[in-house]
Amino acid sequence: MNEKQKKSKTLTGIVVGNKMDKTINVRIERTVQHPLYEKILKRTTKILAHDENNECNEGDEVIIESSRPMSKRKSWALQKIVNRAQKV
């Protein structure tokens, strides 16, 4: 068997919460088509991700990657910040 590095899955989303220590709440949007009426619908999923340096703020667009489970609900890690949110 060849020893190859498994590519981890990556997702892009918006940070909707950063109140926990070293954890961010990321909203992932996807589009699905209704099976009968064929209307395009938006569906969202909230995922907890590990943010080691507490560098994300609400509204940032981030890329997260799958990692080992760090707690009961957290098995994703911050890969990089794509766009910073504008501060008002």
**Domain locations in the chain as residue ranges:** 10-83
- How far apart CA 26 and CA 12 sit, in angstroms, is 9
Give the pLDDT confidence of 26-70 residue by residue, as tens digits.
999 999 999 999 999 999 999 999 999 999 999 999 999 999 999
| Dihedral angle of Cα 16, 56, 13, 43, to the nearest 10 degrees | -10
In angstroms, how far is the first alpha carbon of the chain from the final one?
A: 55
**Model pLDDT for residues 64-79, shown as the tens digit of each residue:** 999 999 999 999 999 9
Residue 85 amino acid letter: A
Output the pLDDT for position 7.
Answer: 81
Architecture of domain 10-83: Beta Barrel (2.40)
